């Protein structure tokens, strides 16, 4: 067999119909990125340390506060842990943009952009990796919280982890878009700080917004993350009839769709 024959043979192997090239490209990218991440698993652990510290060193402070008027239904754990999960969703995914800046520098992003691979696939494979890691972290965090004394129904916990997954899709996408757009760590870091602090403070993650004065409550209602936190708290109480759960889910899904749309457009743009 000559070399040429051999290539023709390889081509016939490749000729099997590809049904959804977009998802195929996403899975190829996912596996590639996951393998790279697992080579440095220490990062997965480092991201977990922060919420664990909150759980051990901050949650006990909530015990006395949970008896003050205005504190939402449920005990300190069932109010705080959902917020902590959302916080993990935000902080566990919003820094992935640094990774794409490194990839731009290596030239791997450009190399993949010259292939016929779908731009959505190249993006979504990366987002999927980040989301899978996040889901595992969220599940672990919930289990550890149970060991600390949290009581939560399974369905509610699963829904909350699902919400965290949607948040991961949204924020990882937006972070990639910002990284592709800014192309510099020095520009991305202040941007993320500028966004994350008000989002965190106005979300009721640390302390429920029901304790807030009226103006602060109003302000927080403009922040979609506060609705997502409310939704997660309702889920933790298995309060499925509660409208705040539906609103929270809708907010999370809308943010995920928005993030993917923005990031796909950024990936398609020529200079990205």
**Would you count residue 42 as binding other proteins (CB under 8 A)?**
no
Q: Which of 59, 94, 101, 112 binds other proteins (CB under 8 A)?
A: 112
DSSP conformation letters of the chain: --HHHHHHHHHHHHTSPPS-HHHHHHHHHHHHHHHHHHHSTHHHHHHHHHHHHHHHHTHHHHHHHTTSTTPPSS-HHHHHHHHHHHHHHHHTTTTTHHHHHHHHHHTHHHHHHTSS--HHHHHHHHHHHHHHHHHHHHHHHHHHHHHHT----HHHHHHHHHHHHHHHHHHHHHHHHHHHHH--HHHHHHHHHHHHHHHHHTTTSSS-GGGS-HHHHHHHHTSHHHHHHHHHHHHHTT-TT-HHHHHHHHHHHHHHHHHHHHHHHHHHSTT-
Nearer to other proteins, 103 or 230 (CB): 103
**Would you count residue 98 as binding other proteins (CB under 8 A)?**
no
Tell me the site size for other proteins, rule CB under 8 A: 32
Shortest gap between Cβ of 117 and other proteins (angstroms)? 4
Stretch that binds other proteins, among 36-44, 89-97, 176-184, 221-229 (CB under 8 A): 36-44
**Would you count residue 107 as binding other proteins (CB under 8 A)?**
yes
**Would you count residue 14 as binding other proteins (CB under 8 A)?**
yes
**Would you count residue 130 as binding other proteins (CB under 8 A)?**
no
Nearer to other proteins, 50 or 113 (CB): 113
**Would you count residue 35 as binding other proteins (CB under 8 A)?**
yes
Stretch that binds other proteins, among 35-43, 131-139, 170-178, 252-260 (CB under 8 A): 35-43
**Would you count residue 91 as binding other proteins (CB under 8 A)?**
no
Q: Which of 1, 5, 19, 40 binds other proteins (CB under 8 A)?
A: 40
Binding site for other proteins (CB under 8 A): 3, 7, 10, 13-14, 16, 18, 21, 25, 28-29, 31-32, 35-36, 39-40, 103, 106-117, 270-271
């Amino acid at each position: 067999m000559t070399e040429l024959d051999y290539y023709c043979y390889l081509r016939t192997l490749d000729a099997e119909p590809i049904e959804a090239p977009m998802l195929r490209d996403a899975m190829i990218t996912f596996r590639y990125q996951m393998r790279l991440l697992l080579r440095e698993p220490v990062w997965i652990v480092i991201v977990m340390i922060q919420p664990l510290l909150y759980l051990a060193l901050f949650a006990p402070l909530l015990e006395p506060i949970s008896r003050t008027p205005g504190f939402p239904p449920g005990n300190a754990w069932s109010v705080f842990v959902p917020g902590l999960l959302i916080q993990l969703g935000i902080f566990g995914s919003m820094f992935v943009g640094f990774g794409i800046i490194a990839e731009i520098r290596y030239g791997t992003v450009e190399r993949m952009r010259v292939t016929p691979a779908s731009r959505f696939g190249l993006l979504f494979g990366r987002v999927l990796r980040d989301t899978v890691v996040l889901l595992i972290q969220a599940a672990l965090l919930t289990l550890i919280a149970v060991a600390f004394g949290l009581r939560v129904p399974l369905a509610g916990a699963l829904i909350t982890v699902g919400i965290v997954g949607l948040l991961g899709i949204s924020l990882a996408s937006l972070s990639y878009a910002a990284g592709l757009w800014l192309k510099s760590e020095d520009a991305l870091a202040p941007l993320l700080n500028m966004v994350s602090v008000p989002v965190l403070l106005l979300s009721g993650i640390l302390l429920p917004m029901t304790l807030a004065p009226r103006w602060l409550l109003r302000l927080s209602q403009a922040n979609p993350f506060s609705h997502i936190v409310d939704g997660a708290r309702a889920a933790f109480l298995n309060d499925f009839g509660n409208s705040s759960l539906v609103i929270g889910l809708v907010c999370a899904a809308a943010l995920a769709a928005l993030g993917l749309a923005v990031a796909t457009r950024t990936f398609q743009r020529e200079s990205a």
